[in-house]
Amino acid sequence: MFQRLPDAGGERVSFTIDGRPAEALSGDSVAAALLANGVGACRTTPVSGAPRGPYCMMGVCFDCLVTIDGTGNQQGCQIRVRPGMRVETQNGKREIER
């Protein structure tokens, strides 16, 4: 659904989404990297279980919450993707231990 602009540049960054190898460009936010990899829904809501994906891309809507390197409820749009980063989609509530 999302395509990169033709002049988008940057180095390739390898990371994982739910354990699967994925690639992004340096400078991408985690949310942008998820969208570029075709992941539209990155979590389900804690109360009703409805799917949610990155929306505002500027830290306001909290819909892009994911688990990053084992810590839950991270705002994907506010964190840059790093080489080797483990990004996991999140089902419902985060766990207090992660």
* Binding of other proteins by 46 (CB under 8 A): yes
> Considering only residues 10, 59, 84, 92, which one is a binding residue for other proteins as defined by CB under 8 A?
92
User: What is the full DSSP assignment across 41-80?
Assistant: --EE-TTT--EE---SSSSSS-TTEEEETTEEEEEGGGSB
DSSP-derived letter for residue 25 is E
Q: What distance, in Å, lies between the first and last C-alpha atoms of the chain? A: 31
Instruction: Pick the closer one to other proteins by CB: 37 or 45.
Output: 45
Between CA 98 and CA 40 the distance in angstroms is 23
Binding segment for other proteins (CB under 8 A), chosen from 17-25, 33-41, 53-61, 86-94, is 86-94
Binding segment for other proteins (CB under 8 A), chosen from 4-12, 13-21, 26-34, 88-96, is 88-96
Contact between 26 and 11 (Cβ < 8 Å): yes
56-75 residues near other proteins, rule: CB under 8 A: 71, 73
Instruction: Pick the closer one to other proteins by CB: 1 or 96.
Output: 96
**Residues at the interface with other proteins (CB under 8 A):** 46-47, 71, 73, 92-97
